[in-house]
Amino acid sequence: MTMKDRGLRTRVTRMFQRRAGNELTYLVMGVALGIIISRIGDLISDQPRSFFESLVPEFIGIVFTVFVINRLDAVREDRLILEKLLREMHSRHNPVSLQAIEELRVMGYLDSGVLRDRDFRGSSWQEANLYRADLRGADLKHADLENADLYEANLEGSTVTPDQLRLCKTLRRCIMPDGSRYDGRYNLHWDLYLMRRDGFNPDDPASAASFYEVPLETYQAGQLAEKR
């Protein structure tokens, strides 16, 4: 099954889950309707004014109750979906983790802080688009980051090794585990492509430092450290 097919199946499943989660709402509405009909039978024939005076507060109370129940149901559903996607993001099966990452992106969760301090050990994130992902404090031991896009991601305090980061597609503007901005030391292929495309010269330290938006001394120190 392709990733597109799996995404369609996921959306259809969730549509039915949403409908299945509203039984309590329908029950409340049915009970409320029964109460209203009962009141109509008792009051409308003899006391129309009294009927309407008593109906209005009951109607307002019913509407408020239904609204609150629907809201609580939506919050619960969102929480369950988020927990499911976080579990799938931790998958060792690459298509599953990539699909979860994309859905988390669409829902606005990647940079919201929900990934912070989470256990993602051994996750399969090859080719993952982790643009601006907030992974502060996350445990990424043995996670496969081959060709992963970590542009503007935040890895401060995370557990990840240089060997893992050397496999990434890009780390430009990424915050590293020690809290510093990535200085270009790994000379990642996509960063070098972007550097040339945007008119910077990878053979000129000053130009390369400008591309990575770090001081020249920081860029040179990173290059020297990587050569050792």
pLDDT digits (tens, 9 = 90+) for 182-201: 999 999 999 999 999 999 99
Closest CA to 100 of 109, 136, 145: 109
Number of structural domains the chain divides into:
1
pLDDT attached to residue 40: 55
Tell me the two tokens of residue 19.
């409908």
Looking at the domain assignment, is residue 22 inside a domain? yes
pLDDT attached to residue 19: 46
The amino acid present at 101, given as its one-letter code, is I
Which residues form the domain of 81?
A: 3-89
Looking at the domain assignment, is residue 32 inside a domain? yes
Looking at the domain assignment, is residue 174 inside a domain? no
Looking at the domain assignment, is residue 68 inside a domain? yes
- pTM of the predicted structure, to 2 decimals: 0.69
Looking at the domain assignment, is residue 26 inside a domain? yes
What average pLDDT is seen over the chain? 82
Looking at the domain assignment, is residue 66 inside a domain? yes
Looking at the domain assignment, is residue 225 inside a domain? no
d(CA 183, CA 172): 8
pLDDT attached to residue 47: 58
